[in-house]
Amino acid sequence: MDAQAPELTALLRTLSDGEWHSGERLAAEAGCTRAGLAKRVARLRERYALTVEAQAGCGYRLATPIDLLDEAAIRAHLDAPIEGVTLLPSVDSTNRWLLDAPSTADPHLCVAEHQSAGRGRRGRAWASPFGQSLYLSLSWRFDHPADALGALPLAIGCVCCQTLEALGAQGLALKWPNDLVTEHGKLGGLLIEARGEMGGSFRVVIGLGLNLRRHAGLDGLDQPAIALSECLNDAALPSRNMLCAGLATALAQGCQRFNSDGLPPFRAVFDAHDALRDRAIVVHDAAQWTGIARGVDRNGALRVEDENGQLHLVHAGDVSVRRA
């Protein structure tokens, strides 16, 4: 998982079950002294911001167990034409990593255990603790002009909802333009960034952050948050590797369909999951005004009815929208 620190990878895999592990045995397995092991534990805490507990007579354990990602397992369960898969223990942002990567490897999936500078739309921070959620990005090339990609977040949101509902998640909705939500809070977010390429095509990086389990980072945010484990009722939370592969497959298939057919094939799903439809909202653009959300147009713009009954088209790149 971390080619630069294989000794930390081995230690993390042993501790990932959250059980106590004898310091003497850990040191023997690692071929180091007890003092050397203590230094490795300290590096593990510092590098990945993990809470590793130490207790005399018990040894070491992770305060929270981790279902570690595995690149080979993700590849084995992919069912889509994704050329490259990169798993990183920590990165500033999976979107940023792919934007800087050569496009010759597209389509390319980048997944990370931890993001040090995870971000959402309009530069908002995204809480990304090690191993507790899912952070992935997929690069894809589209034939559309840039203005035709405005509806892409809606299409991708639809395939995410359908994938999670197939696992048993209930009460999911889509808050225009890029949030997966329930009545109890935000479950996940999409960040889509495009760059023009030679020949008129556009290289797009689709980022998805999904809360899997409740963690401290979800508290104290500017809006309520919820985890997938809280949406599944009696269904079990799937392994992160299976979930990652399933979502990546769905994203790739959604990109293929959007590239050929645009938004129309996704409209019925979006309309059924539209969290803002016929609700009072506050639009923050050059000014601040209120209106009633009336769905989206064929290009993905939000239709908002003002107090005089006039319809306005609101585009995602210009504004922030909140329910009143």
* pLDDT tens, N- to C-terminus, the chain (324 residues): 554 478 888 899 999 999 999 999 999 999 999 999 999 999 999 888 889 999 999 999 999 899 999 999 999 999 998 989 999 988 889 999 999 998 888 999 999 998 887 655 555 555 567 888 999 999 999 887 666 788 999 999 999 999 999 999 999 999 999 999 999 999 999 999 987 665 567 899 999 999 998 766 666 556 788 999 999 987 788 999 999 999 999 999 999 999 999 999 999 999 999 999 999 998 887 778 899 999 999 889 999 999 999 999 998 765 666 766
- The torsion angles phi and psi of 305, rounded to 5 degrees, stand at -95, 125
Residue type, 18: G
Q: Which residues contact 15 (CB under 8 A, 6 or more apart)?
A: 21, 44, 52, 60, 61, 62
Angle subtended at Cα 171 by Cα 169 and Cα 175, rounded to the nearest 5 degrees: 110
Backbone angles phi, psi at 62, to 5 degrees: -80, 135
Where are the chain's structural domains?
A: 6-62, 71-272, 276-323
Per-residue H/E/C for 146-213? HHHHHHHHHHHHHHHHHHHHHCCCCCCEEECCCEEEECCEEEEEEEEEEEECHHHCEEEEEEEEEECC
Q: What is the pLDDT of residue 323?
A: 67
Domain range 276-323, CATH class: mainly beta
Tell which CATH architecture fits domain 71-272.
Answer: 2-Layer Sandwich (3.30)
Which residues are annotated as catalytic?
121, 186, 322
C-alpha separations of 88 from 93, 111, 136, 277 in Å: 10, 6, 10, 38
pLDDT digits (tens, 9 = 90+) for 79-98: 998 989 999 988 889 999 99
For residue 192, which of 130, 149, 163 has the smallest C-alpha distance?
A: 149
**pTM for the whole thing?**
0.87
Q: Specify the pLDDT at position 115.
A: 85
> For the domain 6-62, what is the CATH code?
1.10.10.10
Cα–Cα distances in Å, from 237 out to 89, 179, 231?
Answer: 22, 21, 10
Q: How many CB atoms lie within 10 A of CB 125?
A: 13
HSE, side-chain direction, 13 A CA sphere, residue 70: 13
Q: Which two tokens stand for residue 67?
A: 């279902």
pLDDT tens per residue across span 95-107 = 999 999 988 889 9
Contact of 204 with 149, CB cutoff 8 Å: yes
Residue 90, pLDDT score? 85
Residue with tokens 């392994």: 239
**Predicted pLDDT of residue 103:** 85
Q: How far apart are CA 276 and CA 293, in angstroms?
A: 6
Identical fold for domains 6-62 and 71-272, yes or no, is no
- The predicted-structure confidence for 196-210, as pLDDT tens digits, reads as follows 665 567 899 999 999
Backbone torsions φ then ψ of 93, nearest 5 degrees: -160, 130
- Grouping H, G, I as helix, E, B as strand and the rest as coil, residue 18 is coil
Residue 3 CB neighbour total at 10 angstroms: 7
Backbone angles phi, psi at 40, to 5 degrees: -65, -40
Q: Which residue has the tokens 């798993």?
A: 87
Question: What's the pLDDT at 136?
Answer: 96
Determine contact, residues 139/177, Cβ cutoff 8 Å.
no
What pLDDT is recorded for position 126? 55
